[in-house]
Amino acid sequence: MNTLTHPSDFAALLQRFFTDRLLQQQAASPRTVAAYRDAFRLLLGYAEDQCHKSAAQLTLLDINADLIVGFLAYLEEERHNTVRSRNARLAAIRAFAQYVASQCPPAIFIAQRILAIPMKRTDKPMLGFLSRSEAKALLDAPGRETWSGRRDRALLKVLYNTGARVSELIGIRVNDLELDVTPSVRLHGKGRKQRTVPLWKDTATEVRRWIDFAGLHTDQALLPNRWGRPMTRSNVAERIALAADSAAKGCPSLLGRSISPHTLR
């Protein structure tokens, strides 16, 4: 039986890549597994169209460097993915190619050609920043009269204080906070990495007020939406944009500015 031309061998390798390599050997985070899953869902769909066969009939010979190059072009030209998204999909495919090279010697040449496909370089835009007065206007913009305003004040101050990524921010639970002797928050980053960041007195006070006001329990998200579930990335971006619009009324230099979560980092 030829490993390169039999569909069941390709299917078995792909399954073991996820179950053995990612989950057991590398203990990949759920976000990484989901990103790799999405990459292969798109790749297999593209391969079906190009090879005129179902995903169940695809073989290792079908998933070659020429197909991958075409897939990357399809992502950018037809799906209008950014270079960053294109590179993320390629990273998932290259990880699989490395696994194939170690598990299936007859496929080493195919894997080497895929591994030789380069990441595409992209120019990083210059990040904006806020002056001290602009930052203060933004942090003070949400009012304390409403539930969402109180939450947004805590959100902005924690984000500005810690420099957390949005994924770290929305992942904070009440039991990740130490607000008594030496205020701090435990952030859960990429790859299950954790770090503890000190909280300023003003931030700790705002967070304490918010927890008491909302009646949050220790196992709840610090920044929930109206239904009690953790906020999403888009929720956070929308609330920051709303606060920026409000702050611009008293701080004209914010007019027309695009304030993102990364601006506060």
Domains recognised in the chain with CATH numbers: 7-115 (1.10.150), 132-264 (1.10.443.10)
264 close to 239: Cβ distance less than 8 angstroms: no
Question: Is 165 among the residues known to form the active site?
Answer: yes
101's enclosing H/E stretch is helix 83-103
Contact in structure between 59 and 13 (CB atoms under 8 Å):
no
Crossing angle of the two packed helices 7-16 and 83-103, in degrees rounded to 10? 110
Active site residue 124: no
Residue 258 near residue 138, CB atoms below 8 Å: no
Q: How far apart are alpha carbons 179 and 142 in whole angstroms?
A: 22
Contact 142, 156 (CB under 8 A): yes
Catalytic residue from among 37, 192, 233, 262 = 262
262 catalytic residue (yes or no): yes
Which residues in 123-147 are b (16+ Cβ under 10 Å) and which e? eeeeeeebeeebbebbbbbbeeeee
Region class of 2: left (phi > 0), else alpha (psi between -120 and 50), else beta? beta
CA distances to 14, 96, 98, 107 from 8, in Å: 10, 16, 19, 15
Spatial distance between the Cα atoms of 176 and 30, rounded to a whole number of angstroms: 20
Cα–Cα distance for residue pair 167/138, rounded to 1 Å: 21
User: Of 136, 165, 173, 209, which is the active-site residue?
Assistant: 165
pTM beyond 0.85: the answer is no
Q: Where are the beta strands (DSSP E) in 113-232?
A: 177-178, 184-188, 194-198
Query: What does the alpha-carbon distance between residue 262 and residue 191 come to, in Å, rounded to a whole number?
Result: 20
Give buried/exposed letters for 53-69 (b at 16+ CB in 10 A, else e): eebeebbbbbbbbebbe
User: Average pLDDT over the chain, rounded to whole?
Assistant: 91
Task: Give, as one character, the DSSP assignment of residue 162.
Answer: H
Q: Which residue in 120, 190, 217, 229 is the catalytic one? A: 190
pLDDT tens digit at each of 265 positions of the chain: 467 888 999 999 999 999 999 999 988 888 889 999 999 999 999 999 999 999 999 999 999 999 999 999 999 999 999 998 999 999 999 999 999 999 998 999 999 999 999 999 876 655 567 888 988 999 999 999 999 999 999 999 999 999 899 999 999 999 999 998 899 999 988 767 889 999 999 999 999 999 999 999 999 999 999 898 999 988 999 999 999 999 998 898 888 787 877 777 6
To the query of whether residue 53 is one of the catalytic residues in this protein, the response is no
**Active-site residue identified among 21, 113, 209, 265:** 265
Q: What sign results for the dihedral spanned by CA atoms 91, 94, 96, 102?
A: negative
